[in-house]
Each structure stands twice: as structure tokens, then as C-alpha cells.
Structure 1
């Protein structure tokens, strides 16, 4: 695939201002624009640096492993952030897995004429992604689009105990779903119909008390903080569609009509972009990054 310059990356269309206004976590609401150039201390000679440089040369994508303060500009590794064994220094090992997944599992599966959808910058985040702290304002995300920094995707699921490659996989399609559904045409054709289906069925996130209850009401999670908004709910379907084992998927969709209706709207939107989530899912089931294959 030919070299991809940053000039081909279009601005992220999603402005989550209403949700971000509730945030009390400064790490999630940056007060600056993320850098568009490689950090000055990134030099060839280590496995991580060489891999990040190659991804930048090939696609114009920059990898950062921390989102706190000046580290966006100066520091690719945070010694206290990650721990996934002793193969390499913890941050380097986690970032290498992530960089490889971006190319193998994300970039290579997006149609070439859709390369403008590739996020410009990625961030590894060592805590859960949430907005707000009270029971009434807390939202959980699988990924987080920075409203004031074009094409930046912050990825959760990196914790002291290890690297959740499943969540990394899900987070890309969760974030990409947010970009697509914000398009006015797609908002009208898919997202509005998605929320209409929920309204017509008279189901609400606060009625969910366990997972079976969630399924029966057309939700994929019993974590109320993950399904408080229609946007979260919609994007969660995209992440689920890209990774759920097919037998589990088909069993649930055949049993729960609202799940099937909402799933159909989300996957139809991706299919319109030439990105069939069923095909993405098939590849994931055989992927070396899929935890069940290790």
C-alpha cells in the first residue's frame, strides 16, 4: 500500500460536547491540540521506535502511549503505566502489540478508497474511559474521540494486569462507528431509526438489571453507564458485531427481535461504507490477536 500522508486524513466529524461537558477527568478532555508530528525523542534503533516510524511512514498514523500532560509531546512510554510480562519493557511490549494490530486488524481491512477513515493519532490509555463521576453523569466508553483534536482516538483497556487486545479491537470499530453515525446522511438513515426503535419499544437503560434482562430489552450490556446514551448504545453494537463469536451472535439475534433490529441498522451503515462487519468478524475469529486463539 502506498505512502499515506497526513493531508489525506479528514477531521473527525463527531463532537461529543454534550457528554464532555459532564467530564471531571482532565485526562479525557484535553485543553490543547494533540501534536501532528512525531515526538522529537523518537529515534530509530528499538523495536518499538522502528515499528512506530514504519506505521507513520506508511500511513501517517502516530502512536502515543500516554495522554497526560507533556507526554503527548515528549514521551512515548510511561514506566508506571502498563505491565504485560517480561518479554520487553512493559510499555514497549503493549505498544508493539497495539501498533501491529492497527495495521493488521484495522488498516488492512479497510477498503483502499476509504482510507480517509483511518484515525490520524492513537493513544493508549491506562484506565477506564469515563465522563463524569456522579451516578447521574457517568458514561463509559470503549474508545474516546477528542473533540478538539482532529482524528484522535483514545483507547482504553490497558491496565496494570495486562493488555486487553479484544478491547483494542473493539475500540477501533466503536470509534469508527461514532464517526460514521455523525454524518448527517447516516444520522438520518441509521442512527435516528435506531433510537426510534428504542422509543417505540419503550425500553430504557435504567430498566436493565442483569445481562439477560439487557438482551430482552435490546441492549448488549448490563452496565448502565455503557448504555446511557443512544450514541453509546449504537457504537457498542458496532464493537460487538466486529468481535462477538458468530454462534453467540446468531443465537441472541434469533431470540431477541430488538437486538436483531438494532444490529441490522448498525451493520447496514458499515456495509454502506464498504466495511461489512460480518467479514471483519470472520477475520477476528482466526486472528492471532484474538485472546481465544492464544
Structure 2
């Protein structure tokens, strides 16, 4: 199965641009919708630079000009009209996502499939604001999207089973592996990843070992490509804190965020994007 001919992405941050990048390389025309002119310009620069890097690395046979011509960056949600698939990739905030999805449903048309890239918010909860919840599901991509091999296809109670098959095909067409997960707190990946990450933070907080040694224990002992503390820096400490708080509400105190995580976020140390988290990222 090929990807839809025209794909919309709401939000052009690191995740949204990565999702758009994946679909452009797979042959789709992509429109990225941002909240204002400044954000749209930044999203365009981010996306075009990632596409240029793919061309330079030889990961696509298509030239930069042809790929760039398949990309639009807009501020008007009406530009989503005609998209076969619209993926919401705004920050991990329920109200932001509900508003973005409802607006997309109004303008994209009745045949469009809507998806959320949420990593922890209930798909059924998000679907409650839609008129056609059977045309909605989760497509949870991982950061960095271009090199990540996994996408969670998250099914809600109302999701049409035929849509799940279509989504698996789209993910495979991107060169990635789909796993199908029933809507539940944290799905599969966030629940497992956050559990490991929070325990690593507690160990660091208790002085069990340094951040580098805790990560090395997981990388070398369990063959994880990246340790849990470095992963948290890459994901963003604020993002991980938000997911942990959501899981704490849904699943209990075993997902309570450690004080160290709260302090770092309060101090603005969010990981790679701010230059400091559990590691220094001054070279970035």
C-alpha cells in the first residue's frame, strides 16, 4: 500500500516536521499547518533542512527541488481540505489537541482520516470531540522520526477496523514497523519507556551512579541503543514530565515524577533543546 496522495500535519515542531519529512520521502504531497507566520517560517526551514540532509545522505532517489515542491507550510487550517490523512502533532496538551482535531475534521472533509501523534493522552478521550470518531486513531511516531523504525497504531473503541489495516499499510510504506495497541494509558511504548526513565532518574537522585554509568548499564547490559537518561534529554524533560503526570493520574503513584525531574524542568533545563538536562548539550 502507498501513502495517501496528500497528507496534512498540524504542528511543525520537531515531531511534526519529522512526520512530514517521512511522508514527503514516501511520495506524498504534504501541507504543514502552524499557528502563525513566524512558527510557519520556522517549520518550513526545519522541514526543508531535514529533506536536504536526506538528499545529501542518499536516503532518497529524488532531488531536493522535487521534494521541496511537494511541501506547503500554511497558517490557515482550510489548507487541509483535500487531505486523505491529517496528523495532529501539537504539544502534549489535551485541550490543544481537541481543538486542533475538531478544526481539522471541519475542513478536511468526511473521507479524511484523522490521527493524533499523542504519546499518552487517551484516543477515546480525544475522539469524544469528533463527529466521526470511526475515522480517527492514534499514529504515535518516535523522535527522531526519520531514523526511528517504530510507529504505534492506537485504536479507539470507535475506530473502524478497516482503518487500522490502512494505517498499518501507510506505516509500512514509510519504511517503518507498525504495532497495534489498544487505547490505554501510555499505550505500550510510553508506559514502558517512562517506567524505565523514571527509575533511572530516581537512581540518579539517590546517588546510585552517575547519569553516564546508569545509561551504560542499560546500553551495554540490555543492548538498548540509548540509555534512559540520554533518551529523556532527547525527548525533552518537560515532555517526559507531562507524560508521567498523565500516567500518575491514570495508573497510580508508581508513575509519580521524581523531585529531580520537577526541579530540572522548573529551572528550564529541558534536555538537548535547551542545552542542558541530565547531560550538557552545549555543542547543539
Q: Would you call these one fold, judging by a TM-score over 0.5? A: no
Higher strand fraction: Structure 1 or Structure 2? 2
Higher relative contact order (CA 8 A, sep 6+): 1
Question: Normalized against structure 2, the TM-score is what?
Answer: 0.31
